[in-house]
């Protein structure tokens, strides 16, 4: 009897699949399949049971509304699942801004950063491409780090990453004593799938979650970042540092007679760029941009190279740096230390008095830095303040370099380059790792000086890659989407600012640059700058020169920071390739594959740095509960608005549920909340006085209450239809100064 039922089941499966494959012209509902296959009602239960089995085995897909279809007839995509604390997520697309929105009910057990196969199901109410996870192709996360909770007979772990909402059960014997509230690392053995309780084996205990010294350890474990290098990598680094000769040869020019200087942060330990400068009698300039020659010490395909590629970038935390290379290289022979001979890649430029590039060369060199200057020292010198930099020859030289940098800067902004000049947080820590202050990192004119010379080198190298090969490792920043520009135009229009958005005509960076400059120094400056920033796409790496919208350049690459960015090392190696040859021939992996991997690693590092800063912000603000601060609205959403404080660089959320004077409706086009009765408006840039109401250490969120309002839930629900929820997207500082 059982065998007979199995045979019937297979028969129904074949009939259902044949119908979907050959007769169904579009996704159909279950009842339509039943009607097509049956003349009588007998067999309906068997068909529905068969459909459930096919859905469970992922042979067919059930779409929203109960529609059924074969996977091969749908729009499928493979990408990385990026979860949001509220339960929904996005599957990354092949192009920037082409992400697939996945609502909470359609994640099907996918965890943050899993590689998934997803199916497009249509458009949501906001016009976004929506879909569901169909299959988890690869579980990227092998461990979770969280807080241990002891209960009678066992232990559970609540992940500290708010994007992982599942609580894990620790199984097996514990390797060490764990106390309730300890931070622990769990190796996942059973993943969340909606059916089973997720489980894992306890790997180690980090210690008391309240210990501020563990914040960075928590981030490292959360993002699975390495704390140290394996011995074979360290050994290769020591060997290369000892054996590579630092001397000129037939392929390396001797520039040790040049006046070379470095300008970096006060606490910097690795100096990967240096400058030389002179002025000709005809009023033109000779500029030499020297970059550490990492390629001379890192052999392609070696253990050192493989580890650097795996990391992709150095990661910067408030209390330490996780370098891309071992210290013997990054702070040793690669660092352009004063008074020491160093191998470099030099871009020499003959620049006209008007800032035009008259000629250039890219070549290997040996240099010796004569001065290690800091941003603050150079800033004080250039602004006429007291500085401890020797007057001769450095004072006049730096003044001349700044004069030329200003010429290049004017040209850049005339071209349309965007200038936000956003503040970066600087976390001041005590000896225990506890934050004692959060201040705005100073923005010196010396930062601008270095930025212009690094941009110059990167532009020149990018043009050379394009001329030689037509492809390379480019830094691309594509134009904003038409939808984003339309929303921006509506928002600016409400402020009386006209954005020239016309169908069929591409908006230029200069149009947005004009908006930024027109509002600079006005009361609406921050409001407008935040709105423009949110409209932009995320920069990434690509083998095609797709242009850099933010810099208003047709082609651009990263060349100037090879100690901390692997893409720069790739570009160095490409420059060594012969003209006419394919640069891909010199690499063990296709360059397009590397560009995707390195873009992903950059995103991970930014997220990790952001989490580390948020942890310190949470600790700092937990000591200020109930205190009142002045601030300005930095973002508006359907569930409240964000406020950035003036005194300290901290941002928090004022929820709608804490506003009791009215019911507020969200206008997502104009980015504002308006009261139904009072017509009171909250918009970006508005000054407000807030009180620290709550600090959520699990979701890393700070909640404010408007002064005069109490933090609590509404007693009456809004009479209007539910507001559309919108997650706030915007660039947030990673907490480090970057040179282009």
Contact 348, 360 (CB under 8 A): yes
Contact 255, 290 (CB under 8 A): yes
Q: Is the predicted pLDDT of residue 626 greater than 50, yes or no?
A: yes
Choosing from 87, 103, 138, the residue where a domain stops is: 138
Quick one: average pLDDT of 73-93? 84
Q: Is the predicted pLDDT of residue 559 greater than 80, yes or no?
A: yes
Same structural domain, 116 and 151: no
Q: Is the predicted pLDDT of residue 126 greater than 50, yes or no?
A: yes
pLDDT for the residue 271: 93
Quick one: average pLDDT of 675-701? 90
Same structural domain, 433 and 325: yes
Q: Please confirm whether the linkage preceding 230 is cis (ω < 30° from 0).
A: no
Share of residues in the chain with pLDDT > 90 (%): 52
Helix (H) or strand (E) holding 488: helix 482-494
Note whether residue 543 is domain-resident. no
Per mean pLDDT, which range of 232-241, 506-515, 610-619 is the poorest? 506-515
Same structural domain, 334 and 436: yes
Exposure of 595 by Cβ count < 10 A (0-12 exposed, 13-18 middle, 19+ buried)?
A: buried
Tally the domains of the chain.
Answer: 6
Note whether residue 298 is domain-resident. yes
Per mean pLDDT, which range of 67-76, 502-511, 614-623, 727-736 is the poorest? 727-736
Per mean pLDDT, which range of 7-16, 333-342, 515-524 is the poorest? 7-16
> Per-residue pLDDT tens for 517-533?
888 888 778 778 888 88
pLDDT for the residue 254: 98
Same structural domain, 84 and 186: no
Same structural domain, 191 and 243: no
Same structural domain, 411 and 361: yes
pLDDT for the residue 41: 62
E-strand spans in 352-388? Answer: 357-368, 371-374
CATH code, domain with 90: 2.40.50.140
Q: Is the predicted pLDDT of residue 682 greater than 70, yes or no?
A: yes
Note whether residue 608 is domain-resident. no
Choosing from 14, 43, 69, the residue where a domain stops is: 69
Q: Is the predicted pLDDT of residue 740 greater than 80, yes or no?
A: no
Query: What span, in angstroms and rounded, lies between the C-alpha atoms of 435 and 429?
Result: 4
Contact 709, 423 (CB under 8 A): no
Q: Is the predicted pLDDT of residue 1 greater than 50, yes or no?
A: no
Confidence of residue 99 (pLDDT cuts 50, 70, 90): confident
pLDDT for the residue 39: 64
pLDDT for the residue 226: 92
Q: Is the predicted pLDDT of residue 648 greater than 70, yes or no?
A: yes
Quick one: average pLDDT of 677-705? 91
Same structural domain, 301 and 366: yes
> Per-residue pLDDT tens for 566-593?
999 999 999 987 654 555 556 768 898 9
List the 28-29 sheet strands across, edge first. Answer: 28-29, 67-69, 61-63
Cα distances from 528 to residues 496, 514, 630, 633, in angstroms, run 11, 12, 20, 12
pLDDT for the residue 64: 66
Query: What span, in angstroms and rounded, lies between the C-alpha atoms of 702 and 651?
Result: 7
Note whether residue 365 is domain-resident. yes
> Per-residue pLDDT tens for 424-442?
889 999 999 999 999 888 8
Same structural domain, 519 and 499: yes
Contact 630, 645 (CB under 8 A): yes
Contact 76, 131 (CB under 8 A): no
Contact 558, 565 (CB under 8 A): yes
pLDDT for the residue 668: 79
Q: Is the predicted pLDDT of residue 293 greater than 70, yes or no?
A: yes
Q: Give alpha helix (H) positions in 244-282.
A: none
pLDDT for the residue 230: 96
Note whether residue 619 is domain-resident. no
Comparison of pLDDT for 3 and 264, the residue scoring more: 264
Confidence of residue 174 (pLDDT cuts 50, 70, 90): low
Same structural domain, 201 and 254: no
Same structural domain, 301 and 434: yes
Place of tokens 């594509």: 478
What average pLDDT is seen over the chain? 86
List the domain range (segments joined by +) for residue 105: 75-138
> Per-residue pLDDT tens for 697-733?
888 899 999 986 654 443 333 333 333 333 333 333 3
Q: Is the predicted pLDDT of residue 40 greater than 90, yes or no?
A: no
Place of tokens 């074949």: 14
pLDDT for the residue 98: 74
Note whether residue 550 is domain-resident. no
Residues paired with 368 in a beta bridge: 341
Q: Is the predicted pLDDT of residue 7 greater than 50, yes or no?
A: no
Separation of CA 726 from chain center? 19
Query: What span, in angstroms and rounded, lies between the C-alpha atoms of 662 and 183?
Result: 42
Note whether residue 599 is domain-resident. no
pLDDT for the residue 278: 97
Same structural domain, 402 and 377: yes
Same structural domain, 122 and 148: no
CA atoms within a 13 Å half-sphere pointing along the CA-CB vector of 658: 21
Note whether residue 559 is domain-resident. no
Residues paired with 623 in a beta bridge: none
Provide the token pair at 602. 């950059």
Please report, in angstroms and rounded to a whole number, the separation of the first and last CA atoms in the chain: 73
Choosing from 460, 490, 521, the residue where a domain stops is: 460
Query: What span, in angstroms and rounded, lies between the C-alpha atoms of 446 and 104?
Result: 47
């Amino acid at each position: 009897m059982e065998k007979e039922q199995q045979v019937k089941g297979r028969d129904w499966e074949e009939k259902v699949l044949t119908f979907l494959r050959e007769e169904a012209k579009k996704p159909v509902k279950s009842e339509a399949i039943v009607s097509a296959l049956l003349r009588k009602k007998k067999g309906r239960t068997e068909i529905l049971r068969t459909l459930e089995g096919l859905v469970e085995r992922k042979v067919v897909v059930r779409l929203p509304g109960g529609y059924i279809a074969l996977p091969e007839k749908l729009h499928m995509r493979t990408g990385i699942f990026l979860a949001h604390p509220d339960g929904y997520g996005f599957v990354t697309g092949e192009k920037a801004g082409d992400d697939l929105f996945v609502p909470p009910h359609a994640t099907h057990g996918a965890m943050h950063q899993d590689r998934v196969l997803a199916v497009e199901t249509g458009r949501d109410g906001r016009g976004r491409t929506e879909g569901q996870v169909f299959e988890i192709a690869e579980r990227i996360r092998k461990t979770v780090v969280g807080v241990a909770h002891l209960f009678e007979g066992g232990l559970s772990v609540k992940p500290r990453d708010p994007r992982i909402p599942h609580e894990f059960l620790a199984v097996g014997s514990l390797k060490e004593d764990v106390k309730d509230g300890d931070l622990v690392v769990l190796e996942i053995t059973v993943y969340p799938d909606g059916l089973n309780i997720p489980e894992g084996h306890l790997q180690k205990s980090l210690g008391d979650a309240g210990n501020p010294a563990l914040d960075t350890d928590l981030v490292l474990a959360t993002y699975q970042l390495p704390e140290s290098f394996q011995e074979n990598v360290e050994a290769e680094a020591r060997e290369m540092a000892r054996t590579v000769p630092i001397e000129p040869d037939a392929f390396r020019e001797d520039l040790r007679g040049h006046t070379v200087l470095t300008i970096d942060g006060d606490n910097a330990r690795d100096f990967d760029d240096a400058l030389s400068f002179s002025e000709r009698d005809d009023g033109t300039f000779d500029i030499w941009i020297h970059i550490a020659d990492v390629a001379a010490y890192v052999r392609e395909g070696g253990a050192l190279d493989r580890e650097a590629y795996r990391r992709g970038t150095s990661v910067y935390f408030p209390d330490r740096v996780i370098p891309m290379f071992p210290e013997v290289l990054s702070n040793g022979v690669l660092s352009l230390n004063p008074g020491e001979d160093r191998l470099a890649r030099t871009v020499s430029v003959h620049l006209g008095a008007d800032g035009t590039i008259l000629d250039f060369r890219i070549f290997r060199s040996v240099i010796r830095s004569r001065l290690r200057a800091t941003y603050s020292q150079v800033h004080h010198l250039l602004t006429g303040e007291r500085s401890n930099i020797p007057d001769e020859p450095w004072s006049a030289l730096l003044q001349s370099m700044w004069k030329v940098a200003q010429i290049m800067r004017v040209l850049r902004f005339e071209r349309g380059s965007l200038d936000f000049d956003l503040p970066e947080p600087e976390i001041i820590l005590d000896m225990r790792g506890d934050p004692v202050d959060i201040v705005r990192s100073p923005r010196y004119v010396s930062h601008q000086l270095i930025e212009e010379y690094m941009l110059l080198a990167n532009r020149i190298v990018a043009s050379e890659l394009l001329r030689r090969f037509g492809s390379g490792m480019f830094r691309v920043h594509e134009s904003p989407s038409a939808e984003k520009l339309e929303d921006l135009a509506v928002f600016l229009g409400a402020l009386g600012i006209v954005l020239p958005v016309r169908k069929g005509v591409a908006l230029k960076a200069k149009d947005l640059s004009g908006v930024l400059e027109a509002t600079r120094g006005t009361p609406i400056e921050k409001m407008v700058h935040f709105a423009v920033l949110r409209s932009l796409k995320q920069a990434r790496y690509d083998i095609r020169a797709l242009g850099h919208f933010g810099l208003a350049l047709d082609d651009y690459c990263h060349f100037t920071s090879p100690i901390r960015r692997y893409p720069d090392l790739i570009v160095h190696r490409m420059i060594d390739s012969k003209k006419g040859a394919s640069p891909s021939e010199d690499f063990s992996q296709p360059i397009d594959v590397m560009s995707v991997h390195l873009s992903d690693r950059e995103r991970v590092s930014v997220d990790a740095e952001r989490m580390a800063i948020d942890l310190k912000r949470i600790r700092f603000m937990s000591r200020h509960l109930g205190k009142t601060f002045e601030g300005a609205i930095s973002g508006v959403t359907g569930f409240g608005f964000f406020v950035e404080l003036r005194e300290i660089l901290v941002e928090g959320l004022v929820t709608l549920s804490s506003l009791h004077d009215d019911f507020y409706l969200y206008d997502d086009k104009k980015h504002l909340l308006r009261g139904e009765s009072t017509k009171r408006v909250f918009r970006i840039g508005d000054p407000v006085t807030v009180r620290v109401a709550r600090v959520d250490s699990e979701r890393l969120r700070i909640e404010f209450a408007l002064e005069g309002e109490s933090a609590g839930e509404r007693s009456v629900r809004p009479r209007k239809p539910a507001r559309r929820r919108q997650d706030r997207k915007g660039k947030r500082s990673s907490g480090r100064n970057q040179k282009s």
